Chains A and B, each alone.
Chain A
Amino acid sequence: MPDMTVVELSRLQFALTAMYHFLFVPLTLGLSFMIAIMESVYVMTGRDIWRRMTLFWGTLFGINFAMGVATGIVMEFQFGMNWSYYSQYVGDIFGAPLAIEGLMAFFLEATFVGLFFFGWDKLSKVKHLMVTWLVALGTNFSALWILIANGWMQYPVGAKFNPATMRMEITDFMAVMFNPVAQAKFVHTVSAGYVLGAVFVMAISAFYLLRGRHVDLAKRSMAVAASFGLAASLSVVVLGDESGYVTGENQKMKLAAIEAMWETEPAPAGFNAFAIPNQETRTNEYAVHIPWVMGLIGTRSFNTEIPGIDELVERAEERIRNGQVAYAALQQLRADRSDMHAKAMFDLHWQDMGYALLLKRYREDIGNATEQEIDKAAIDTIPRVAPLFWSFRLMAGVGFYFIAFFALAFWLATVRKLDRYRWFLKLALYSLPLPWLAIEAGWLIAEYGRQPWIIDGVLPTFLAASGLKLHQVIISLTGFVVIYTSLAVVDVYLLRKMILKGPDDMPGGERRPNHEGTPLAAASSTAA
């Protein structure tokens, strides 16, 4: 078993680099579509303001995209660097969607993003528009395959453990691809990205309107963001509900932890609007309980029970015992591959073997685990409840807030009063950090809520780590913290500089006189 300090630091490093990467990805997802919409309007109407909008938001998109690319490659490398046993154990399944992501999506977006910036005077309007849409499409396909990979970690379908190779192997590729958890996660995550993109455009446009600068551009950008944001915020909540429903089906422990539901309640279960969960005593303090709501969301029925944490721990204990049987059968199979009895026992119980592996934390020969150790391993299946409970409420609260916010914005856009109320513009501006908070909270729920598993029910996280030396992880972790912090400072500085400069002062906004000869300059002068 790897050194626990190495495991914990590797987890910390993965969490930090993933959450950092995920500051940029959702903005790329949302902004790429809005830019494509703006450019489409430009191509259809030929009005230059829409071209300038495309250029302006495109410049901000570019800075963000660079950060996404820089931090994305780190994620791909880390599976092998810090989680080599994981890579060895499930690479047969998990590697495929990552490779397909590269072939199908990332090649597309990365190849055309260069042309988006450098192709303005080399391509016809329609061809450039096509390039922009391909970038948007590429970024979204990319999210699809990454979430298929991630969905499999949450709900490992279509695969079986092979005793000859000592790893999980694919049995049904279609099941992995059309994994219901992956599909639910994909639509929920990209919608969240669209909301974030829309809020970003709203906030910066509001900033301009508050200062009375670039009014035309800001109002039009806001109108696009308001409608895009309304559709996205509705879908993020509806599809988030779908995500919760699918979680209820597959990851009952995560759902129970999110709800801090220690005991099974008679159906339909209630919802804890407020509580202070106590992991030690496995009870809630100061709970504000709303009857029925949870049962309806989680099961969409009046009479299906949602199991509470205590009941799930009991089930885990049973699965640990079954897993011990499977593990013993595996040892026999490895000694004698023709042992038919061992094979039958293994086939019967292999799906519980992951639970027995939880015992590895306490002893190597897990067949001889004591009752006490089995108890401890069963309790280990409970994730940290309080952070999940609160992250979920933060995320859901922000989600509902943005439905209201965008409904208001959409209405103001319809009656053409987007710049009328200063309080609304201030609200839009100060809402800027909220979608990031919600998205990071969502990430935390999905991944921290999966603990102690790296692949739900199959492989415990602590077993998945590489056998690294402590100094190696300390060096890389420190290095990432230093370089990512510096990059964050530079990124914010540049974005701020570009926003303060605004679209007019930005080269390519208003054309300077010495460029009269270029077709774009001609187009802009006729439009002006």
Chain B
Amino acid sequence: MDTIPLDYETLRLIWWLLLGILLIGFAVMDGFDLGVGALLPAVARTDAERRLVLNVIGPVWEGNQVWLIVGGAAIFAAFPALYAVSFSGFYLAMFLILFALILRPVGFKFRSKVEDKRWRAVWDWGLFIGGFVPALVFGVAMGNVLLGAPFHFDDTLRIYYTGGFFALLSPFALLCGLVSVSMLVAHGAAMLTIKTDGPVALRARRYGSLAALATAVLFVLAGIWVAFGITGHAIVGVTDTAAASNPLFKQVTSATGGWMANYQAMPWTWIFPALGVLGALLSALLLRAGRGGSAFLASALAIASIILTEGVAVFPFLLPSSTHPSSSLTLWDSSSSHMTLFVMLVVSCLFLPLILLYTSWVYRVLRGKVSPESLEQNHNSY
């Protein structure tokens, strides 16, 4: 292990950041696809309008969804215990996400290949579910991270999860779900404003600015709830940040409003919630003004800041346990080994810039508005 040039603590911190980057990458890139899917019934009334909307995201959504796949795999590789606990604990919620996500690729490919009203209506619903449900469930999941999940380990690190599916749908978690839906809807609306003209763009601007406003309000509400009504945790004593990954060797204290401790200790971190609200309000204004590109940047800023706000609040926790707080997963005790973290960092440094490079090339090639005429010309359009 002496040959690894970065120490274990640094690598764990870097991977915590990288996880945040992948999550933000997913929410910003695939987020607008989900938002557009959720907006589909609202902004597009006729078949032609629906095809227009679908073809805004049609060429790019597949690449965007890889952010989710890589995010999941990165959690598996870098924080296996987090992957194991969250995916098995939230079993039916994960199944619901899978169900919704399965509808997307086939929805896009299948919908416009048959000229039948009912056929297309079925897939339109599928695509709406494929956008709305993941947006909601991911938000609910983030809410449950703040609330903690009912799990513990035995001494062989076998996981015991003692909650059920409906317990995940608490009022606070649903509020977080709504934050997620509204922020992704605003983001999707910004993309529709960039890529379309006419009635679709007008409706997208109207619903999008409402959603952006709602994001700001709901986010502040959730923040107040976290400060005054939610139990937060803290590790007792000095943490050995380079210890072997085993979540059973720590003591944890819990207190209502405990998630505010990092904000009190490091006041500069207030910048994240502030930018979250500011970004959302800004995107509401810009959408109203019809400035799609700037609105997109503003909502991306809001998304990134909202995710970071939660990250700062729970740091160094990844997934707290509500029933056995000492079993909670933190970035110091549930990561992969020193070597795996290092190898994966090298791989990420090689490929992430490359991915950003070719993704931006693809978006450059596809730049410009999607028009009804261009759909007619391309036989592959959805």
Name A residues whose Cβ lies closer than 8 Å to a Cβ of B. Answer: 55, 58-59, 62-63, 66-67, 69-74, 76-77, 79-82, 84-85, 87-88, 90-96, 98-104, 106-108, 110-115, 117-123, 162, 164-167, 169-171, 173, 334, 466-468, 472, 475-476, 479, 483, 487, 490-491, 494, 497-498, 506-509, 515, 518
Contact = CB atoms under 8 A, between A and B. Distances in A.
A91 B336 contact: yes
A71 B102 contact: yes
B358 A81 contact: no
A220 B35 CA distance: 44
B343 A506 contact: no
Interface of B: 58-63, 65-66, 68-70, 72-74, 76-78, 80-81, 83-88, 91-92, 94-95, 97-99, 101-106, 108-110, 113-114, 155-161, 165, 244-246, 336-337, 339-340, 343-344, 347-348, 351-352, 355, 358-359, 362, 365-366, 377-381
B380 A498 contact: no
A92 B110 contact: no
A55 B84 contact: no
19 contacts: A55-B379, A63-B113, A70-B101, A73-B65, A76-B76, A80-B87, A92-B336, A92-B337, A96-B340, A99-B76, A101-B73, A110-B62, A111-B60, A112-B358, A118-B58, A165-B246, A170-B340, A334-B155, A472-B91
A85 B106 contact: no
A80 B358 contact: no
A76 B76 CA distance: 9
Contacts of A468: 88, 91
B366 A74 contact: no
A88 B378 contact: no
Given A490-B106, A508-B380, A515-B377, A82 B113 contact: no
A331 B184 CA distance: 50
B340 A102 contact: no
B76 A73 contact: no
B70 A103 contact: yes
A63 B380 CA distance: 11
A494 B110 CA distance: 8
B63 A114 contact: yes
A112 B74 CA distance: 22
Given A63-B109, A80-B86, A119-B365, A111 B73 contact: no
A67 B80 CA distance: 28
A508 B280 CA distance: 43
Given A120-B380, A468-B88, A114 B102 contact: no
B112 to A, nearest CB: 11
Contacts of B108: 66
A123 B108 CA distance: 23
A518 B379 CA distance: 13
Contacts of A76: 69, 72-73, 76
Contacts of A122: 365-366
Contact of B355 (A58, A88, A107): A107
Ordered nearest first, which 4 A-B pairs have the shortest CB separation? A91-B80, A80-B87, A508-B379, A95-B77
Given A63-B109, A67-B106, A84-B159, A170 B339 contact: yes
B73 A99 contact: yes
Nearest to B346: A173
B91 A466 contact: yes
A121 B378 contact: yes
Contacts of A85: 84, 158-159
A102 B339 CA distance: 20
Contacts of A92: 80, 336-337, 340
A497 B113 contact: yes
B291 to A, nearest CB: 25
Given A165-B245, A472-B91, A497-B114, A173 B343 contact: yes
Given A99-B77, A114-B362, A87 B70 contact: no
A77 to B, nearest CB: 6
A6 to B, nearest CB: 11
A453 B342 CA distance: 29
A153 B10 CA distance: 30
B365 A104 contact: no
B264 to A, nearest CB: 33
Contacts of B245: 165
Interface centre among A111, A466, A467, A483 (most CB of B within 10 A): A111
Given A74-B98, A91-B336, A167-B157, A102 B70 contact: yes
Contacts of A165: 157, 244-246, 337
Given A111-B358, A475-B95, 8 more contacts: A59-B379, A80-B88, A92-B340, A93-B340, A98-B77, A99-B347, A101-B73, A107-B359
Contacts of A74: 98, 102
Contacts of B351: 103-104, 107
B365 A96 contact: no
B94 to A, nearest CB: 5
Contacts of B158: 85, 88, 467
Contacts of B110: 63, 66, 490, 494
B316 to A, nearest CB: 18
Contacts of B94: 77, 80-81
Nearest to A487: B106
Contacts of B83: 79-80, 87, 91, 95
A475 B93 CA distance: 12
B91 to A, nearest CB: 5
Contact of B337 (A69, A162, A487, A515): A162
B58 to A, nearest CB: 7
Contacts of B347: 96, 99-100, 103-104
Contacts of B113: 63, 494, 497-498
Contact of B102 (A108, A487, A491, A497): A487
B373 to A, nearest CB: 10
B365 A102 contact: no
Contacts of A79: 76, 83, 87
Contacts of B157: 88, 165-167
Contacts of B61: 114
A304 B59 CA distance: 56
